[in-house]
Chains A and B, each alone.
Chain A
Amino acid sequence: EVQLVESGGALVQPGGSLRLSCAASGFTFNHYWIHWLRRGPEKGLEWVSRINMDGTSPAYADSVRGRFTISRDNAKNTVFLQMNSLRVDDTAMYYCARESVGDFDYWGQGALVTVSS
């Protein structure tokens, strides 16, 4: 059974940092691109970042580029999202998801990030 489990969500002050983790199981991890997406309160889904199979080619949305860093450890079947210089509008549920040729076929249950003073 394919599973993605996020962890690391928390309440953090503006300007602070947080590291999210996404632990995967049930599939050949290094054969897939993994993404982070988010949904803020009263907002829609937003693509945040993705990493390719060997971790050499990350990509970011304009809204987070320069502040967020995605990485992966294929030995541990885990993807990370390091979030720095957090802003109030980064408040959202963050999901990791597996990509299957352009769509996202499996999602984790999410990690809640709240940025507030």
Chain B
Amino acid sequence: SYVLTQPPSVSVAPGQTARLACGGDKIGIESVHWYQQKPGQAPLLIIYDNTDRPSGIPERISGSNSGNTATLTISRVEAGDEADYFCQVWYSTSDQPWVFGGGTRLTVL
């Protein structure tokens, strides 16, 4: 099965840039999706197909994907960005293709 690896935690000061990594074997050839989950809320899709933002997601949230690492970048971090972030791929060669990373908790200092 395909494994996605995320650091458990990232901390950043308000106004700075947070970069959250998602590692996987040749992940650069996969489509990576990112979800934000705040306490007590459902997950929210914030990036799909590596770089696209759903309607309503601010431009300071962006994604990239190359080689063995996909990255979610949050610019000008705000207190409201504090949440858990999960990467996900649809790995077509698996019989259970919907794979999630373990998640990264973003703390705004």
Contacts and interface: CB of A to CB of B under 8 A. Distances in A.
Interface residues of A, number: 21
A1 interface: no
Interface in A88-108: 95, 97, 100, 102-105, 107-108
Interface residues of B, number: 24
Contacts, number: 55
A47 B98 contact: yes
Interface string B62-98: 0000000000000000000000001011100001101
Contacts of B95: 59
B109 interface: no
24 contacts: A44-B86, A47-B96, A47-B100, A50-B98, A61-B96, A95-B42, A95-B43, A100-B48, A102-B31, A102-B33, A102-B89, A102-B90, A102-B98, A103-B45, A103-B48, A103-B49, A103-B88, A103-B90, A104-B43, A104-B45, A105-B48, A105-B54, A108-B42, A110-B42
Interface of B: 31, 33, 35, 37, 41-45, 48-49, 54, 86, 88-90, 95-96, 98-103
